[in-house]
Homo-oligomer: A and B are copies of this chain.
């Protein structure tokens, strides 16, 4: 348990009302991590949120092949794990100290108590911001998914999850090759070649505007990628 002074020294917790301080102080603690130590790991259930006091923490995923991708690095003053806590979801990646790091932890109960009495419109805005952060996290994974074919497949799977709420086996892509290439950061010719290959091999099918693909095959193409499986739908 930290003192009130230490807590109010943190930018994020400056100038709060006394009721907030009371609950926050009771649930606050400080941790020290050596370089390389894990703050939390993928799949773990959050028990609080963190604020970097000193040092830095990377959030990353490692493939079975051994290669790693870093989604983001967090520096002093920035909060970590807030979205997973607010969304009541397990951590989507592992957090590791990049150097000897000091971190403030606010446990779940204390953190959530600061939201008491907040109206529904504001809570819905917060939920929406969290969803946006998770979509962007996934988008970052898409862009690092490897070669262009994997990136296209990842983008298509995301689109499928966001537009089709049923358990269909095919995903309809209403984007032109041009628009797809602007999504994955590749040249249009490269995208055309890949989609043509898919169509030739029966993996995709022409459509009036765009094309449609088989979900299973897309999943196969991106197997062993950094992107998370699904974007949770709205509550």
A→B interface (CB under 8 Å): 11-13, 15-17, 20, 24, 58, 60, 67-73, 75, 77-79, 82-83, 98-99, 114-115, 117-122, 124-126, 128-133, 135-137, 139-140, 143-144, 146, 159, 162-163, 174-175, 179, 182-183, 185, 234
Q: Which residues of chain B come closer than 8 Å to A129, judged between CB atoms?
A: 82-83, 126, 129-130, 133
Q: How many copies does the complex hold?
A: 2
**Interface pair B119/A20, CB less than 8 Å apart:** yes
Q: Which residues of chain B come closer than 8 Å to A136, judged between CB atoms?
A: 72, 133, 136-137, 139-140
**Interface pair B126/A125, CB less than 8 Å apart:** yes
Q: Which residues of chain B come closer than 8 Å to A234, judged between CB atoms?
A: 11, 77
6 tightest Cβ-Cβ pairs between the two chains A and B: A144-B185, A136-B136, A114-B121, A143-B143, A129-B129, A20-B121
Q: Which residues of chain B come closer than 8 Å to A67, judged between CB atoms?
A: 182
**Interface pair A60/B182, CB less than 8 Å apart:** yes
**Interface pair B114/A119, CB less than 8 Å apart:** yes
Q: Which of B75, B140, B144, B182 contacts A163 (CB 8 A)?
A: B75
Q: Which residues of chain B come closer than 8 Å to A119, judged between CB atoms?
A: 16-17, 20, 114, 117-118
What would 16 A/B residue contacts be, using CB atoms closer than 8 Å? A12-B124, A17-B119, A67-B182, A72-B135, A73-B159, A79-B132, A83-B132, A98-B174, A114-B121, A118-B118, A122-B126, A129-B133, A133-B136, A140-B140, A143-B143, A143-B144
